[in-house]
Amino acid sequence: MTTVIDGKNVAASVIQTVKSATAALEKSSGVTTGLAVVIVGDDPASHAYVGSKSRMAKECGFKSVQHTLPAETKQEELAALVATLNADPSIHGILVQLPLPKPLDSEAIIQSILPEKDVDGLSVVNAGKLATGDLKTGLVSCTPAGAMVFVRRTHGEDLSGLNAVVIGRSNLFGKPMAQLLLNANATVTIAHSRTKNLAEVCRNADILVAAVGRPEMVRADWVKSGATVIDVGINRVPAPERGEGKTRLVGDVAFEEVSAVASTITPVPGGVGPMTIAMLMANTVIAAHRTAGQTPPQF
Ligand SMILES: NC(=O)c1ccc[n+]([C@@H]2O[C@H](COP(=O)([O-])OP(=O)(O)OC[C@H]3O[C@@H](n4cnc5c(N)ncnc54)[C@H](OP(=O)(O)O)[C@@H]3O)[C@@H](O)[C@H]2O)c1
């Protein structure tokens, strides 16, 4: 019997822990967890993401601040806002929504966020802490952190003896995911567009994580019987069966056929997707606990 992970359900349980931890921190130390979200320009998708993040922050009991800047904002103006938020003791997490409109230099902005407030986990300091196994003081990029919650809930904390394959080597997902699996003692292979015999590499995986951006690339005969399959891909494909011009979302894994082989699988949508915002909230309450000198909750 294959287990289909309900990402919404797991995300809701993470949010529940965030809410309790937020309330407990406020009660014990008078600190209200604060998240600042910065958006530049008027990309509708980015506005939708930022709206959900700000709403969720309020629901968690955070002080939630949103800064909406025009597309013409200059690099120095955005840098000055980040500097102000870095210096604001009531803000524990800063998120600058990407991509930034051209010609803004997003890398310079992301790296200027104080690492302890970098709740997206994108600074080189946080990437370095993850790479050296320092999960106690670093912040981990939200989507891999969310995917790892699924892995932990399926296999426990210690992945000794298990082979994990991550397809994709992006800084945003593939590399941090591989580091998290390695930290948990898995034997990790990172595959990418230059990997030979990808299907064969994947068939070795007890835990297979796909983050490529190619619709339904991973087929049933790529998957070891009984494997855990985490599908991070989000691809919009034509769905003429739903009517002319209609589309639907699919992952990087051919869900129906792989479900017949895997023991645990995440769907798209409704798998990894809902975890990203939940882990952003988790990182923010972790950051607030650390600032207040208190032990943060674990997720
Ligand atoms: N919230 C979420 O749920 C969430 C968050 C982040 C990303 N995603 C989704 O996850 C997917 C990956 O995101 P990303 O940011 O990591 O993408 P990315 O930066 O484009 O990286 C894609 C990776 O896939 C590899 N790749 C491309 N074609 C391949 C092939 N034919 N065989 C093997 N590997 C191949 C690339 O290899 P090279 O390095 O060799 O080019 C690269 O490492 C996207 O669909 C994205 O939408 C979802």
**Tens digit of each residue's pLDDT (9 = 90 or more) over 134-172:** 999 999 999 999 999 999 999 999 999 999 999 999 999
Q: Which residues line ligand 1 (CB under 6 A)?
A: 143, 167-170, 172-174, 191-195, 198, 211-214, 232-235, 272-273, 276
Question: What is the spatial order of strands in the sheet that 228-231 belongs to?
Answer: 3-4, 264-265, 228-231, 207-210, 163-167, 187-191
Beta-carbon contacts of 17 under 8 Å, excluding residues fewer than 6 positions away, are 282, 297, 299
Please tell me the distance from the alpha carbon of residue 171 to that of residue 159, in angstroms, as a whole number: 23
Domains of the chain: 29-115 (3.40.50.10860), 142-274 (3.40.50.720)
Tell me whether residue 243 is annotated as binding. no
Tell me whether residue 170 is annotated as binding. yes
- What pTM does this model have? 0.96
Neighbours of 162 (CB within 10 A): 19
**Residue 109: pLDDT above 90?**
yes
Q: What tokens does 84 get?
A: 């102000």
Q: Which of 117, 118, 120, 252 is catalytic?
A: 120
pLDDT value at residue 20: 98
Q: Ligand 1 center to residue 99 CA distance, Å?
A: 16
Q: What is the pLDDT of residues 211-264, one digit of tens each?
A: 999 999 999 999 999 999 999 999 999 999 999 999 999 999 999 999 999 999
Crossing angle between the packed helical segments 44-59 and 273-291, to the nearest 10 degrees: 50
In ligand 1, the atom with minimum distance to the C-alpha of 213 is: 45
3-state secondary structure of 198: helix
- 89 preceded by cis ω (within 30°)? no
Mutate to test the pocket of ligand 1, among 49, 234, 266, 281 (most ligand atoms within 8 A of CB): 234
CA proximity to 203, closest of 229, 176, 241: 229
3-state secondary structure of 280: helix
Q: Which amino acid is at 120?
A: D
Q: Ligand 1 center to residue 148 CA distance, Å?
A: 17
Examine the residue annotation and report whether 120 is marked as an active-site residue of this protein. yes
Please tell me the distance from the alpha carbon of residue 78 to that of residue 54, in angstroms, as a whole number: 19
Q: What number is the average pLDDT over the span 76-93?
A: 98
Residue nearest atom 2 of ligand 1, based on CA coordinates: 273
Neighbours of 278 (CB within 10 A): 27
Beta-carbon contacts of 201 under 8 Å, excluding residues fewer than 6 positions away, are 165, 189, 191, 195
What are the helix and strand counts (H, E) for the chain? 10, 11
**Residue 131: pLDDT above 90?**
yes
Tell me whether residue 169 is annotated as binding. yes
Q: What number is the average pLDDT over the span 56-65?
A: 97
pLDDT band for 1, please (50, 70, 90 cuts): confident
Mutate to test the pocket of ligand 1, among 8, 171, 212, 219 (most ligand atoms within 8 A of CB): 212
